[in-house]
Chains A and B, each alone.
Chain A
Amino acid sequence: MTTASLGLSRDDRPILIAALFILVILVAGTVYTFARFGSAPLLSPTYLLQQLQIGAFLGIVAAGMMMVILIAQIDLSVPWTLAAAAMMATSIGGPLAIPVGLGVGLVVGLINGIGVAYLRVPSMIFTLGVNAVMRGLMVAHTGGYAPQTAATDLMRMLAGDRTLGIPNALFVWAAVSVIVTIILQRTALGRYVYAIGNKEAAAYLAGVDTRRVTVICFVLCGLAAALAGVLLAGYSTKAYQGMGDAYLLPSIAAVVIGGTNILGGRGRYLGTLIGVVLIVLLNSVLSIMDMPEAGRQVIYGLVIIFMLLVYGRGERVTS
């Protein structure tokens, strides 16, 4: 492994490259807007804050997704965990709205974790099934129509309002980020997460309760998706069908672009943060350019492949 060629650790390199790429996006976008409209919205703090506010929901989902990817699993139940949390929160309403929403995430995470850790069903398929079940429950619950219930004031305040000119959603995202960073860097749980992702057998033989850690990671992922759902419902003042669909693939992409190994065990939260910002900014530049959905998808895919090719490739299996 000769990643030290730049004097950087293996984990820093992708983060730095992604950060540089963000700069490239900002510069290219600004050049474009300046040439076309004679203005530079991308450099205005108001616009950036607004974009980041929207990005907060993705950021929170990605934080949870990262916990699961770090232990070499994946959670495909995020879309309907998010939607279910939003729907349950809005239909319960009142002061219990947010706890109930988060409770949905907790339960889903618990079920996912037990299926993966104790039954050892591949997470790819187990969480897929759980996603279908959640979708089924919600479709049955709402009758397939847009729910008529509305977000509570607290939810709207957390997601839509501003404090000192800064969107509250950013504070929530920041809080989640601080918690995840502390877990990953400062707690025993965080060490176990990396250990399991690197070599589950070695972690197990070191006396780590690998099953408990796996369950905790899925619970955290479920909680994060639920929190994002509650906030998103607050932001759009209501819950709606399929509101989580747009968060699954981007959250995985953000984690991977941030340098986290999709096979687990490696990656820093800062990277995920930067990955989210990159995706959010890429999206805003593309909308400023009036890029049709088609072009966005193509560019989106090419960026992921390009970044991964630049980060360095996996090792070859020989024996």
Chain B
Amino acid sequence: MSDAVLTRHAFLTLSGISKRYAGVRALEGVDFACERGKIHAVLGENGAGKSTLIKIISGVVQPDSGSMRLAGQDVSFATPSAANAAGVVCIFQELSLMPDLSVADNISISSPPRRFGLIDARAQRRRAEQLLAEIGCEDVNPLMRVRDLPLSRRQVVEIAKALGKKPQLLILDEATSALTSADVEKVYAMLARLKAEGVAILYISHRMHEVEALADRASVFRNGRHIETFDKGKRSTADIVQLMIGRDIATQYPPKPPRGSPPPVLDIENLSWDRRLDRISLRVGAGEIVGLGGLDGQGQKSLLLALFGVLRGVTGQIIVEGREVRPGSPAAAKSVGIALVPEDRKTEGLMLPMSIADNLVIASLDAISTGPLVDRARESDMIKRAIARLQIKIGAPGDAVSTLSGGNQQKVVLAKWLMTEPKLILLNDPTRGIDVGTKQELYRLMRELADQGAAILFYSTDYDELIGCCDRVAIMYDGRIVRELEGDELTETNIIASALNIDAATPDAAGATHA
């Protein structure tokens, strides 16, 4: 269809690109093209394949199959530097700056100006000043260390660094997420200038109004596939949301029990922390699964960490089963019956080189010890039961946990906490990067736990899963809970609308208020 027209003037063309991570599909047969002098938005839900797409274009990962053409030439980039050399430059979400080097050093890190073979600090500084001026951020002193800059300034430096590479194709991956609104305006101006100079720009953002304001063209991705590409103004916001959601809901969720008014296990009042949590009040009852929704980085993770005793300087009240608690460490949180499945199972959830058995019992060793000694009979019995209950597929309990698939690893993390018989379970995006089958098992398990009386607070970046699993969903924005959705108002449209702050886009959003 319109893609055929696109390819004629295309600067970058992808055909049939596929990529899998450990068996999980990230991209499947993607055809995609973008032109010079156009700002091209890439849209999709979390996990739709956008990140993988830009990682492939910028040489961070290699596709399993498919081909890529740039300016009429077949290309394949083995490293980010190779992509840079060809004029493809990406501004990543995770910052790629070296914190101990100065702003000027970082901006010129890969090709510094030299004099007599040595780095010319003055020229380097002028260059940094020039580039920062181009985005209108002269206030950043190039001598400053990146470590000492606030997050928003670091992102500015990242953009200047990219500009310094003289991009032909510039990719911005949520590059404005941490910027102040004044800076965002400046970045817009810069993008308009680059566009006029004939640079091709790929723009990835969750902020719908940004996309509307900037993009000449947009492509929607869903479940690793390219769904549609259309020009500006051809689709309404509601249409776009619909395209992003799609209709193929394949996942099955366990049935929800009828709503009651269970006694609260967790009751938070006015919880605040370091400008990132703002007067949060929330209740989770026994047997309830409460979801935390919203865009990435709106304070959901901080809320879970605050409850688990990881954060210092938390103010407000935390009441667990009627008693006010103030966990100062995860150990203290554990002792009042709280469990956390952390964000990154590889670095925070598991000791990867250690055995499955060791990982399973690490949180409940006190319970199975007599005096200082671990009771081995009880230990192996406990491990057997956990493996059986969660149907973890393993060779032997003594194998390193790193030999398991991602899904089974996550089951180990969850099983570890189930053995402590927690009253409140905090889940930080537990199904990320996990295959569909295991996901469904996790959903079933969550419901089972809730039915046994546990309270579950569940953060997920997957809206579909929030709707399927949760009795209630609290949407967070900028450190606050902006809305709570339950029952019939718990729809994908409503969640996305609240999360994107485009309430007017959907008819039923206005009526749905609950707080």
When the two chains form their complex, are residues B353 and A198 in contact, meaning their CB atoms are under 8 A apart? Answer: yes
Chain A interface category by residue count: 20 to 34
Most buried by B among A1, A188, A194: A188
Task: Specify which chain B residues have a CB less than 8 angstroms from the CB of A201 in the assembled complex.
Answer: 347-348
Residue of A nearest to B416 (CB): A206
Known contacts A188-B374, A206-B363; decide if A194 and B331 are in contact (CB<8 Å).
Answer: no
When the two chains form their complex, are residues A206 and B330 in contact, meaning their CB atoms are under 8 A apart? Answer: yes
Known contacts A188-B372, A195-B358, A198-B354; decide if A205 and B366 are in contact (CB<8 Å).
Answer: no
Asked whether any CB of chain B lies closer than 8 Å to the CB of A191, the reply is yes
Asked whether any CB of chain A lies closer than 8 Å to the CB of B373, the reply is yes
Task: Specify which chain A residues have a CB less than 8 angstroms from the CB of B365 in the assembled complex.
Answer: 188, 191-192
Residue of A nearest to B357 (CB): A191
Of A1, A187, A195, A199, the residue contacting B369 (CB under 8 A) is A187
Chain B interface category by residue count: 20 to 34
When the two chains form their complex, are residues B369 and A194 in contact, meaning their CB atoms are under 8 A apart? Answer: no
Task: Specify which chain A residues have a CB less than 8 angstroms from the CB of B342 in the assembled complex.
Answer: 205
Asked whether any CB of chain A lies closer than 8 Å to the CB of B29, the reply is no
When the two chains form their complex, are residues A191 and B353 in contact, meaning their CB atoms are under 8 A apart? Answer: no
Beta-carbon contacts of B347-386 to A below 8 Å, as 1s and 0s?
1111111100010011101100100111010000000000
Asked whether any CB of chain B lies closer than 8 Å to the CB of A275, the reply is no
Task: Specify which chain B residues have a CB less than 8 angstroms from the CB of A203 in the assembled complex.
Answer: 351, 362
When the two chains form their complex, are residues A208 and B354 in contact, meaning their CB atoms are under 8 A apart? Answer: no
Beta-carbon contacts of A243-285 to B below 8 Å, as 1s and 0s?
0000000000000000000000110000000000000000000
Task: Specify which chain B residues have a CB less than 8 angstroms from the CB of A265 in the assembled complex.
Answer: 351, 353-354
CA distance A187 to B374 in the complex (A): 5
Asked whether any CB of chain B lies closer than 8 Å to the CB of A313, the reply is no
Asked whether any CB of chain B lies closer than 8 Å to the CB of A186, the reply is yes
When the two chains form their complex, are residues B372 and A207 in contact, meaning their CB atoms are under 8 A apart? Answer: no
Beta-carbon contacts of A21-62 to B below 8 Å, as 1s and 0s?
000000000000000000000000000000000000000000
When the two chains form their complex, are residues B351 and A188 in contact, meaning their CB atoms are under 8 A apart? Answer: no
Asked whether any CB of chain A lies closer than 8 Å to the CB of B456, the reply is no
CA distance A203 to B376 in the complex (A): 21
Beta-carbon contacts of B391-421 to A below 8 Å, as 1s and 0s?
0000000001010000000000000100010
- The distance from the CB of B60 to the nearest CB of chain A, in whole angstroms, is 8
When the two chains form their complex, are residues A187 and B330 in contact, meaning their CB atoms are under 8 A apart? Answer: no
When the two chains form their complex, are residues A198 and B351 in contact, meaning their CB atoms are under 8 A apart? Answer: yes
Known contacts A187-B372, A191-B374; decide if A205 and B351 are in contact (CB<8 Å).
Answer: no
Known contacts A194-B354, A204-B330, A206-B330; decide if A189 and B372 are in contact (CB<8 Å).
Answer: yes
When the two chains form their complex, are residues B366 and A188 in contact, meaning their CB atoms are under 8 A apart? Answer: yes
Residue of A nearest to B354 (CB): A198
When the two chains form their complex, are residues A186 and B330 in contact, meaning their CB atoms are under 8 A apart? Answer: no
When the two chains form their complex, are residues A186 and B373 in contact, meaning their CB atoms are under 8 A apart? Answer: yes
- The distance from the CB of A192 to the nearest CB of chain B, in whole angstroms, is 8
When the two chains form their complex, are residues B362 and A191 in contact, meaning their CB atoms are under 8 A apart? Answer: yes
Asked whether any CB of chain B lies closer than 8 Å to the CB of A305, the reply is no
Asked whether any CB of chain A lies closer than 8 Å to the CB of B329, the reply is yes
CA distance A182 to B420 in the complex (A): 24
Residue of A nearest to B309 (CB): A207
Task: Specify which chain B residues have a CB less than 8 angstroms from the CB of A202 in the assembled complex.
Answer: 347-351
- The distance from the CB of A208 to the nearest CB of chain B, in whole angstroms, is 7
Asked whether any CB of chain A lies closer than 8 Å to the CB of B320, the reply is no
CA distance A191 to B333 in the complex (A): 20
When the two chains form their complex, are residues A199 and B362 in contact, meaning their CB atoms are under 8 A apart? Answer: no
When the two chains form their complex, are residues B348 and A205 in contact, meaning their CB atoms are under 8 A apart? Answer: yes
Task: Specify which chain A residues have a CB less than 8 angstroms from the CB of B354 in the assembled complex.
Answer: 194-195, 198, 265
Task: Specify which chain A residues have a CB less than 8 angstroms from the CB of B466 in the assembled complex.
Answer: none
Known contacts A187-B373, A191-B365; decide if A207 and B334 are in contact (CB<8 Å).
Answer: yes
When the two chains form their complex, are residues A207 and B330 in contact, meaning their CB atoms are under 8 A apart? Answer: yes
Known contacts A186-B374, A188-B374, A201-B347; decide if A195 and B362 are in contact (CB<8 Å).
Answer: yes
Of B329, B352, B366, B373, the residue contacting A199 (CB under 8 A) is B352
- The distance from the CB of A5 to the nearest CB of chain B, in whole angstroms, is 15
In chain A, positions 169-217 with a C-beta closer than 8 Å to chain B are 182, 186-189, 191-192, 194-195, 198-199, 201-209
Task: Specify which chain B residues have a CB less than 8 angstroms from the CB of A209 in the assembled complex.
Answer: 329, 331
CA distance A199 to B402 in the complex (A): 13
Task: Specify which chain B residues have a CB less than 8 angstroms from the CB of A194 in the assembled complex.
Answer: 351, 354, 358
- The distance from the CB of A53 to the nearest CB of chain B, in whole angstroms, is 30
Task: Specify which chain A residues have a CB less than 8 angstroms from the CB of B363 in the assembled complex.
Answer: 206-208
- The distance from the CB of B412 to the nearest CB of chain A, in whole angstroms, is 11
When the two chains form their complex, are residues B347 and A198 in contact, meaning their CB atoms are under 8 A apart? Answer: no
Residue of B nearest to A204 (CB): B330
CA distance A160 to B358 in the complex (A): 41
Asked whether any CB of chain A lies closer than 8 Å to the CB of B340, the reply is yes
CA distance A266 to B354 in the complex (A): 9
CA distance A187 to B348 in the complex (A): 23
Most buried by B among A189, A207, A208: A207
Task: Specify which chain A residues have a CB less than 8 angstroms from the CB of B358 in the assembled complex.
Answer: 191, 194-195
Beta-carbon contacts of A153-175 to B below 8 Å, as 1s and 0s?
00000000000000000000000
- The distance from the CB of B218 to the nearest CB of chain A, in whole angstroms, is 30
CA distance A260 to B353 in the complex (A): 14
Task: Specify which chain A residues have a CB less than 8 angstroms from the CB of B330 in the assembled complex.
Answer: 204-208
Of A188, A195, A199, A205, the residue contacting B340 (CB under 8 A) is A205
CB-CB nearest 7 A-B residue pairs: A207-B334, A188-B365, A198-B351, A206-B363, A207-B331, A199-B351, A187-B372
Task: A187-B372, A191-B374, A199-B348 given; name 6 further pairs at CB < 8 Å.
Answer: A187-B373, A191-B365, A199-B352, A202-B349, A205-B340, A206-B363
